[in-house]
Chains A and B, each alone.
Chain A
Amino acid sequence: MKNIEIQIAETFNSIDDIQKAEAPYFFNTRVQAKLNQRLAVTESSWLPKWKPIWAITTLTILLSINIYSFIQKKKIKTTKSTNTTESANLEGFSNTYNLNSSLAY
């Protein structure tokens, strides 16, 4: 145990006179390059970023337009068919009672 205690103390002491590590050569140049690259990307990205909220909003709008046009189309069809039935009924009625007769009394 005493031996271990000595080893632990030596391990802790091993960093007592530690010198600072130096940044690699041309570090400054690399940082400048990275910064320029980052700034160029920021300047070129003038379009708003494609976030999920935009995707959901666009999808909702497209779906609403589709549903609206589908309902409208159905409405027009129904009106058309009602009109056709009505005119057929009137024709039948006039034929039954011979109202189309061109005889003059």
Chain B
Amino acid sequence: MNEIQLIQSLQQGDKNAFSFLVDTYQHMVFNTILSIVQQQEEAEDVAQEVFVQAFISITKFRGDSKISTWLYRIAITKTLDHQRKKRSKKRFGLLKNVFAIGLQEEQVADFYHPGVQLENKEKSAILFKALQNLPSQQRIAFTLIKIEGLNYEDTSSIMQISIKAIESLMHRAKLNLRNQLINYYQSNK
């Protein structure tokens, strides 16, 4: 089934076509979300939402980009929404904890990406932790290029900004990560 046939079938509400879509793109969507969310269960939940959203809004898809690009866009939007909600929940939780006795700060566990080689696990966990502190645009550009392995052109198409802007985002992301890593290694000497 080629892309045009797949889109047409999906627009007619064909459940088999939808199943084919999920089978084809599930790993791509899941890997992107997992690299940003850094939590297995949450990533699965958001990835499911991405496909449900794709089925619901397929009629609005004009076909002027690849299905993968369109799915990446939905995945990024959903992930950022999820992160925003989580952060506001956390803020509210902190506010509640201010008035609570026996305050216990939640410890964020290190994230080990399942695709990282065993000898690189520890180092990559440090990098993923630093990645969490980047502004969202930089984090997404870095994830798409360095973890998803996309080129600058595809990334610019997904993020709907120019290649120059992507280059700038990547430069700033690397600089920010570097500064964080300097601080980390200096304090952990």
Measured CB to CB, the residues of A under 8 A from B are 4, 7-8, 10-15, 17-24, 27-28, 30-32, 34-35, 38
Interface of B is mostly: helix
CA distance A32 to B18 in the complex (A): 9
Please determine whether A20 and B28 come into contact, CB atoms closer than 8 angstroms.
yes
Please determine whether B185 and A27 come into contact, CB atoms closer than 8 angstroms.
no
Chain B residues contacting A14 (CB-CB under 8 Å) are 116, 120, 123-124, 127
Please determine whether A18 and B27 come into contact, CB atoms closer than 8 angstroms.
no
Size category, B interface: 35 or more
Q: Which 3 A-B pairs have the closest CB atoms?
A: A19-B115, A14-B123, A14-B120
Q: Which of B3-11, B48-56, B101-109 contacts A (4 or more CB under 8 A)?
A: B48-56
Please determine whether B120 and A34 come into contact, CB atoms closer than 8 angstroms.
no
Please determine whether B52 and A8 come into contact, CB atoms closer than 8 angstroms.
no
Measured CB to CB, the residues of B under 8 A from A are 15, 18-19, 22-23, 26-31, 34-35, 40, 44, 47-49, 51-52, 55-56, 113-117, 120, 123-124, 126-127, 146-148, 174, 177-178, 181-182, 185-186
